[in-house]
Homo-oligomer: A and B are copies of this chain.
Amino acid sequence: MSLIMKKVKKTIKANVSPFKPKFIKNLIPSGLNFFSFHAGFKKKKNDLLILIFEKLVNVQCVYSLTSTPSAPIIWDKKNNQGKCKALIVNSGNANAHTGINGIKIINKYVLELTKRIKCKKNEILVSSTGVIGEIFDPSIIINSINKINKTKSVDLIEAAKTIMTTDTYPKTSIKNVKIQNTNINIYGFAKGSGMIQPNMGTMLVYIFIECLLNKNQLKKLIYQNIENSFNSISVDSDTSTSDTLMLFSTSNKKINLKSNKNFKKLSKAVFELMQNLAYQVIKDGEGISKLIEVHVVKAKSINQAKKIAFSVVNSPLVKSAIAGEDANWGRVIMAIGKSYEKINQNKIKVSFGKNTVCKNGQISRKINTKQLNRYMKQKIIKVNVDLGLG
């Protein structure tokens, strides 16, 4: 169980997060083209990405569980049947809480693209990210659609840049896995880190696997891997109206996935890519100061571990103590308590890194204060909670 939290602390004039990873330029997943435009949602910079697949591909999606989903989520869920020819993503306006009008707008620009690339409405997917509740002008997307023929396709990094809102760097990841002498590339790009910025929101993730996968295999790959990657990160405990993950099978390359071993190998690669993107997302909020990893072990169940881990990582008082480099383990105990889970308080052991601060339900008698204080100055703080149950 590994949860990650980013303490938001303003770093003025830090244009790019110090955690910015190295990029490989000029990569485009095969079988598709990225078209990037400055449509006009933002004043400067590109803000519209149109992705067109050469052939119809298989896709499976997961969306935010919010009770107030954005129009693109409502639209996608209703229309898409697991096949995709194109994806339209804009930044700068989330098309969220825009009522029936928000849906009509999507219909307008999707219709325009279906005419241009000759496909069905339900073969197009849409995402939007940016301000919630603002009026959305579909004509600026339509204008860009009309320019597609004259536009050169861009690479993965440029695609990721187009969907950035307050991100300080584009988030991309590439994995290669060899299954029975067949090389399979997996490409992913993402944006955002939860709801952490004024007027902005959303996490969007798009992953392309260069082999043939059916609906069930795609679903399995999502549900096997999302829990411990994107569903285990937290920045500010707020949930966006637009969170979306889409997993595409972008090639007809066939591999034997009925073999459990092969599927596991592929799934592991997908997990590593998801985890890599999830880390990039949390490492790029507004002026990151610390990254907290909470590991809960010996719980009664995975659910209990997860509930307690999130209770700790989302506690404002735990966050502020760690931001202040204070090994205030009493707050960790408080946060475990406010999960209201059935535990045995006298069995709890808490450590910061390897520094045990309490065990058997009370303060440890062997705290090396100097070493502990040194540890608390680290950029990544591991909070280890052993519940002594499972």
A residues with a Cβ closer than 8 A to B are: 64-69, 94, 96-102, 131-135, 195-196, 198-199, 201, 236-241, 314-317, 321, 324, 326, 328-331, 333-343, 345-346, 348, 358, 360-363
Contact = CB atoms under 8 A, between A and B. Distances in A.
B199 A361 contact: no
A331 to B, nearest CB: 7
Number of copies: 2
A238 B68 contact: no
A334 B241 contact: yes
Contact of A238 (B97, B315, B324, B326): B315
Contacts of A360: 99
Given A67-B340, A68-B337, A198-B326, 18 more contacts: A64-B337, A67-B341, A67-B345, A68-B345, A96-B333, A97-B333, A97-B362, A98-B361, A131-B330, A132-B331, A135-B363, A198-B328, A236-B316, A237-B314, A237-B315, A238-B316, A239-B334, A239-B338
Among A341, A360, A361, residue most surrounded by chain B Cβ atoms (within 10 Å): A361
Given A67-B341, A68-B348, A317 B133 contact: no
Contacts of A321: 198
A214 to B, nearest CB: 30
Among A199, A338, A361, residue most surrounded by chain B Cβ atoms (within 10 Å): A338
A305 to B, nearest CB: 14
20 contacts: A65-B340, A66-B334, A66-B340, A67-B340, A68-B336, A68-B337, A68-B345, A97-B333, A97-B348, A99-B346, A99-B361, A100-B346, A133-B363, A195-B334, A198-B321, A198-B328, A201-B330, A238-B317, A239-B337, A241-B333
Contacts of A330: 94, 96-97, 131-133, 199, 201
Contacts of A238: 315-317, 331, 334-335, 338
A329 B132 CA distance: 8
A366 to B, nearest CB: 14
A290 to B, nearest CB: 16
A78 to B, nearest CB: 14
A272 B239 CA distance: 36
A74 to B, nearest CB: 9
B68 A134 contact: no
A206 to B, nearest CB: 22
